[in-house]
């Protein structure tokens, strides 16, 4: 199945990333830095900081570099539009092409994938190397002007460099998580009573490391999710500049109606919440949503 292939690709990619970064960090610490007179091999904290920077930012940027390939692997029954063969394909392709021409950027890859939920996303390492994908559910549940508004929203992400800024922020958060958890756990694991000659407790240090990794990772997610919600308002505003705020408001309202129908049909859980478009979450989960609630986005558009 397609999703199994995607997960396998993701795991293999992360394993290869880890091996690559391990080699890079050791090369940097043991060869490159000493060649410039910077020797951190005997200083644990400095070495850990260098290692944390390599792991934190290296992993984030490698993921960004291969973001298009990973996204395509995760899509279900996806087809790239290169030569439109229907009115719908021409509308999608032509809209992206027109906006790219206006912005003077390279035409992104355009994909359509099979999914019931009305969704769309953009990804890629740069504004001149990106892709835009829309679900069949978006085409089935939205009018043409609404679909164009959503496409403009995604092109706003591309032009604003949101993928890059999110990657930098994620790399920074990864660095803090890795450095703090390793530094504090090492202090606990190595601490002992010198006068009594007692050694540290490596097992306790390992427990502290796991706890800190979990706690700090959740805290980092709060920051990254907050940034993600803020960038959605910028992409909405970009869409409003291209096609008018009415079209984007109408698109959000159409998606919100679908969400409400889906909640009634399938239960109380919002299928587009937290990591997708609607952001309709309750309680503390709102802090982890990557998209603001529809009502907030519509209100922001109306104020433009």
Active-site residues: which are they? 154
CA atoms within 13 A on the CB side of 250: 15
99: its two tokens:
């906006």
Residue 119 near residue 258 (C-beta atoms within 8 A)? no
Q: How far apart are the first and last CA of the chain?
A: 45
Query: Which residue reads 């006068």 in tokens?
Result: 195
Closest CA to 231 of 160, 289, 155: 160
Residue 252 near residue 239 (C-beta atoms within 8 A)? no
In angstroms, what CA-CA distances link 264 with 32, 136, 258, 268?
60, 21, 10, 7
65: its two tokens:
């570099």
């Amino acid at each position: 199945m397609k999703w199994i292939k995607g997960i396998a690709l993701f795991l293999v990619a992360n394993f290869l990333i880890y091996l690559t970064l391990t080699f890079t960090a050791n090369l940097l610490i043991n060869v490159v830095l000493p060649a410039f007179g910077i020797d951190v091999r005997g200083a644990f904290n400095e070495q850990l900081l260098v290692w944390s920077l390599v792991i934190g930012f290296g992993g984030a940027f490698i993921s960004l570099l291969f973001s298009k390939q990973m996204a395509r692997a995760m899509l279900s029954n996806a087809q790239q539009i290169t030569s439109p063969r229907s009115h719908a394909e021409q509308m999608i392709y032509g809209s992206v092409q027109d906006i790219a021409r206006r912005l003077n950027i390279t035409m992104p890859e355009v994909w359509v994938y099979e999914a019931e939920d009305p969704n769309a996303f953009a990804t890629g390492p740069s504004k001149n190397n990106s892709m835009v994908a829309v679900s069949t559910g978006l085409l089935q549940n939205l009018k043409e002007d609404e679909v164009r508004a959503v496409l403009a929203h995604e092109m706003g992400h591309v032009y604003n460099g949101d993928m890059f800024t999110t990657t930098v922020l994620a790399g920074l958060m990864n660095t803090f998580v890795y450095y703090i958890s390793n530094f504090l756990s090492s202090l606990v694991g190595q601490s002992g009573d010198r006068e009594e000659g007692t050694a540290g407790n490596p097992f306790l240090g390992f427990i502290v490391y796991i706890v800190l990794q979990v706690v700090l990772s959740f805290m980092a997610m709060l920051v990254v999710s907050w940034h993600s919600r803020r960038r959605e308002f910028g992409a909405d505003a970009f869409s409003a500049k291209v096609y008018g705020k009415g079209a984007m408001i109408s698109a959000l309202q159409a998606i919100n109606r679908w969400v409400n129908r889906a909640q009634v049909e399938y239960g109380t859980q919002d299928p587009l919440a937290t990591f997708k478009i609607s952001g309709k979450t309750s309680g503390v989960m709102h802090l982890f949503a990557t998209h603001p609630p529809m009502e907030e986005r519509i209100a922001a558009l109306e104020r433009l």
